[in-house]
Amino acid sequence: MDGSGRLVIRPQYDEAGCFRDGRARTVLNGRVGYIDLNGRAIGWLPQIEDSWLFVDGLSPFRETLRIGGESRNAIGYKDRTGKIVIPAQYASGKRFSEGVAAVKTNRGEEWSRDWGYVDATGRLVIPFQFPAARSFHEGLAAVTVREKGVHGLFKQGVIDRSGRMVIAPQAWFIEGDFSEGLVAVEAAEDWPRHTRFGYVDRTGKWVIPPRFAGAAGFSEGLAAVDFDPPPSGAASGPLGYIGKLGQTLIPPAFTSACPFQNGLAMVQIGRKVGFINRQGKFVWGPKEEPVYREGPEGDVSWPCPGEAYLPEP
């Protein structure tokens, strides 16, 4: 549907992802393909059955290899024609972002396999050295490092595209990726008894102090946060939206809140879902939809647009 809630491409697919670069991934009768903004099929890719979204023209694929006398899953990358560009060789790998992908070496024991970054040709541009690594966004990526001389103790910092540490590793948890110059961070002075989320800038300076029970990335100037408990007089539900100064723009009223895209955000209230505008007004819904996930205690949830079809390999 478009921004007014009007249906522009009729329901017909088994799966459908978000549009990127004018195309969206679909699954119809077991076949993977792509459509344009008018719903016209661009092409089918039956030879790429175990694939994810193409970014920078490449998509991860999984293959089973014999390594050291044992079978191991390995990740490689194919282009849109199905041609293997980077052979399957990594224990894990994320989608390409800003020309590089975070990959995990398949060498050694599982506990000792580190992450590094490769370019679109498969060249290792940042060596394997991190116990964990996120994708690059806005030229920065969060990485985990081992505390020097202390086995098993980890900290998180931020590197640039050259691999240089631009925000020194600290005892905090970086929640997500940089967006609009900020990234959500969980301060852990008294972890796990008392943790709060806030936002730091590209230098690591706190811009919004840690005072939320949860925080997502900024999109179109707004970020969903968990007020838990909500301010006095707020509607039921702990999730609302703040601005880049930390001010409340949409009061907490939701049990789930997705990022804004093209002026709209999908939200959940109990068993109902709908789309709101930047003023917090519903332009579609809320109404009950088929439950996507149901937890052991009866709690239900739906994925944010595109989330269900953008898993990491």
Question: Tens digits of per-residue pLDDT, 33-47?
Answer: 778 888 888 665 544
Distance CA 80, CA 305 (A): 23
CB under 8 Å, gap of 24 or more: what pairs does 271-274 form?
Answer: 271/300, 273/302
- Backbone φ/ψ region at 21: left (φ over 0), alpha (ψ -120 to 50), beta: left
Rounded to 5 degrees, what are φ and ψ at 105? Answer: -65, 150
Does the predicted TM-score (pTM) go above 0.85? no
Are the CB atoms for 312 and 94 separated by under 8 Å?
yes
CB proximity list for 86: less than 8 A, separation 6 or greater: 58, 76, 77, 118, 121, 122
The per-residue pLDDT for 201 is: 97
Q: Which of 123-127, 148-152, 219-223, 229-233 has the lowest mean pLDDT?
A: 148-152
- Read off the pLDDT of residues 190-208 as tens digits, 9 standing for 90 and up: 555 567 899 999 999 999 9
Distance of alpha carbon 249 from alpha carbon 246, whole angstroms: 9
Q: Encoding tokens for residue 197?
A: 């989320």
The end-to-end CA distance of the chain, in Å, is 28
Q: 211 near 205, Cβ under 8 Å?
A: no
Measured CA to CA, the distance from residue 79 to residue 81 in angstroms comes to: 6
The arithmetic mean of pLDDT across residues 259-280, rounded, is: 92
Percent of the chain with pLDDT over 70: 78
Average pLDDT of span 101-129: 92
CB-based contact 181:202 (threshold 8 Å): yes
User: In whole numbers, what is the pLDDT of the chain averaged over residues?
Assistant: 82
CA dist., res. 259 & res. 169, Å (int): 28
What is the per-residue pLDDT across 207-219, written as a single tens digit (0 to 9) for each? 999 999 889 999 9
Residue among 281, 275, 285, 277 nearest 305 (CA)? 275
Rounded mean pLDDT, 158-163: 97
| pLDDT tens digit sequence for 278-304 | 999 999 889 887 645 544 444 455 667
Per-residue pLDDT tens digits for 141-150? 999 998 754 4
Give dist(CA 300, CA 268) in Å, integer: 10
- Of residues 20 and 154, the one with the higher pLDDT is 154
Residue the block writes with tokens 């006398």: 69
Give the angle subtended at the CA of 86 by the CAs of 89 and 101, to the nearest 5°.
85
